[in-house]
Amino acid sequence: MSRIAYVDGRYVPHSHAQVSMDDRGYQFADGVYEVVTIRQKRMVDELGHLARLDRSLRELEIERPMKERPMRQIMRRLVTLNKVENGILYIQITRGVARRDHAFPADANAVLVVSARPTRPHPAAYIEDGVSVISIPDIRWARRDIKSTSLLPNVLGKQQAVEAGAFEAWMVDDAGDVTEGTASNAWIVTKEGHIITRNLGTEILSGITRLAVLKIAQESQIKIVERSFTLEEAKQAAEAFVTSASAFVMPVTQIDGSAIGAGKPGPISQKLRAAYIAFMELEPLISNELE
């Protein structure tokens, strides 16, 4: 059976899933998106992702194309139609199709596309040895809290990471503080065992995984400080890791070639990763329809 996608009201074979060349997402990156993990036929933090999607839409004054319930039904149907046990669900909403003009069109309807695909498990070496990150200047716009499809600086940053043989690039602002990764939030653990991650604001995306990990850390009585940290502080940290819907909690053992801590995934990163995986597996199994 071929892969099925949802495009603006229709379920279509993925190979025929197309939008208009006048879609403002295509011409202006005038749209927002979400990536939801599917873990063992469970949707992870669905409502958190939908709440962030709503917020992104509100911030950009894009009217949502349908209510939450039918959208959740589409998401379920795509996971089952595509038989995804472990994978990701991609949701994108753009301002719609209109004659090209920068200002909002008077009469466009927002376009929703959804796709689902299986993903491979993380390579064992990533988890056993940790991954490396490089640092790059943060050249993005000032509203990084909006999960916009306008990702060119992130694309360029990830490409630099790939070319350097690194897993991720941490972006550094003009003050020398780490903002986040190109597709993940950045964390460090101090020698006292406190976890540090940048406080929320317009400078970073409020990661859904970040929120879940903060809650897990709190429940595990690990001290958390939400504040900025410099690249230098990160290089001197006992541990470092990144979080995202697709990386979960991924230990970082090298920043710009410097080993972090003992150069191996540390106990707090490992504990949080295991606890986050257990948390994902507590979600209810996906059924085709919402109850």
Q: Which of 147, 215, 235, 264 is catalytic?
A: 147
- Angstrom distances, CA of residue 142 to CA of 82, 102, 146, 176, 183: 37, 19, 10, 16, 16
Residues 71, 112: contact at Cβ < 8 Å? yes
CA gap 111, 95 in Å, rounded: 7
Pick one of 17, 38, 78, 205: the residue that binds ligand PLP (CB under 6 A): 205
Note whether 136 binds ligand PLP by CB under 6 A: no
209, 228, 254, 269: which one binds ligand PLP (CB under 6 A): 209
Q: What residues contact residue 16 under an 8 Å CB cut-off, 6+ apart?
A: none
Residues across the chain: 291
| Burial of 25 from C-beta contacts in 10 A (0-12 / 13-18 / 19+) | buried
Q: What is the DSSP letter of 177?
A: B
The residues pairing with 38 across neighbouring beta strands, listed in sequence order, are 43, 87
The SS3 call for residue 265 is: coil
184 near ligand PLP, rule: CB under 6 A: yes
Segment near ligand PLP (CB under 6 A), from 7-15, 24-32, 126-134, 242-250? 242-250
The window from 54-62, 102-110, 116-124, 180-188 that contacts ligand PLP (CB under 6 A) reads: 180-188
Q: Which residue has the tokens 């200002």?
A: 103
Q: Does residue 147 have an active-site annotation?
A: yes
Give which of 281, 193, 204, 192 is closest to 243, Cα–Cα: 204
Subset of 249-278 contacting ligand PLP (CB under 6 A)? none
Residue placing its CB nearer to ligand PLP in the complex, 81 or 146: 146
Among the listed residues 42, 158, 198, 210, the single contact to ligand PLP using CB under 6 A: 210
- Least separation in angstroms between residue 242's CB and ligand PLP is 8
Number of residues counted as binding ligand PLP (CB under 6 A):
14
Q: What is the torsional sign of CA 8, 9, 11, 13?
A: negative
From the list 126-134, 156-164, 181-189, 262-270, the region that binds ligand PLP by CB under 6 A is: 181-189
> Does residue number 207 form part of the binding site for ligand PLP (CB under 6 A)?
yes
Q: Which helix (H) or strand (E) holds 116?
A: strand 111-118
**Binder to ligand PLP among 17, 91, 113, 245 (CB under 6 A)?**
245
Residue 180 as a binder of ligand PLP (CB under 6 A): the answer is yes
178 lines the binding site for ligand PLP (CB under 6 A) = no
Q: How far is the CB of 79 from ligand PLP (least distance, A)?
A: 17
Q: Which residues are catalytic?
A: 147
Which positions touch ligand PLP (CB under 6 A)? Answer: 35, 154, 180, 183-185, 205, 207-210, 243-245
